[in-house]
Chain A
Amino acid sequence: QVQLQESGPGLVKPSQTLSLTCAVSGGSISSGDYSWSWIRQPAGKGLEWIGRIYTSGRANHNPSLKSRVTISVDTSKNQFSLKLSSVTAADTAIYFCARDTSGWEDYHYYYFMDVWGKGTTVTVSS
């Protein structure tokens, strides 16, 4: 069974770059037609989709974050990563990584996260 584990610094200074990695275990990141995504959740608030990447390197990002977000994948290490630049206190949140299932059915696109990591808390503060 595939499991995901986020890792990275828990504290980042304002204006710096937040860097997180999601390690995939229990299966190859390249097997199946999955994409891999990042979602975040400020304390006590709702979920925000950050972006996703396929192992081909094709990626989508949340337009509100696009210019600051870089998502990459390293198939040799079975992991994918998130970089968020120029962070502010508003980027303080729990960051989750997830595996996505997507495709087409009856001419409609479907996309959902079916496996989630436990999440890692990132605080932006000087």
Chain B
Amino acid sequence: QSVLTQPPSASGTPGQRVTITCSGSDSNIGSNYVYWYQQFPGTAPRLLIYRNNQRPSGVPDRFSGSKSGTSASLAISGLRSEDEANYYCAAWDDSLRGPYVFGSGTEVTVL
């Protein structure tokens, strides 16, 4: 059972905006940065967003992250077929559950 909660799935048509939520608590999202990782089937995860809303070089600006209180969101604007993947949020956790926890993952489908 994951410490951070995400919806199991999300979908949209090409060009649409899709938002994935990540719900945590005071000990993780509420007091630490949030990260997002993208994972295609059969491959390793790739860092997509760090420190809540920063994109590593090479990540398209269609991907954006935000955080408010104990929740965070990943938005994909201008959805493309190549965005079909699993997305995981993560955060440092100051409680005994930590120190680093992942979300349950959201599978994004492009219709």
Contact = CB atoms under 8 A, between A and B. Distances in A.
Interface string B94-106: 0011111111110
Contacts of A116: 44-46
A10 B103 CA distance: 27
Interface in B23-65: 31-33, 35, 37, 43-47, 50-51, 56
B100 A49 contact: yes
B42 to A, nearest CB: 9
Main SS of chain B's interface residues? loop
A80 B40 CA distance: 26
A47 B89 CA distance: 10
A87 interface: no
B44 A46 contact: no
B2 interface: yes
B102 A63 contact: no
Contacts of B51: 105, 110
- Name, among A47, A113, A114, A119, the residue most crowded by chain B CB atoms within 10 Å (CB to CB): A47
Interface residues of B, number: 27
B47 A46 contact: no
B98 A63 contact: yes
Contact of A112 (B31, B44, B47, B97): B47
- Name, among B46, B97, B99, B105, the residue most crowded by chain A CB atoms within 10 Å (CB to CB): B99
A63 B44 CA distance: 24
A38 to B, nearest CB: 11
Nearest to B105: A46
A60 B104 CA distance: 22
Interface string B46-86: 11001100001000000000000000000000000000000
A60 B56 contact: no
Given A47-B102, A49-B101, A112 B35 contact: yes
Interface of B: 2, 31-33, 35, 37, 43-47, 50-51, 56, 88, 90, 92, 96-105
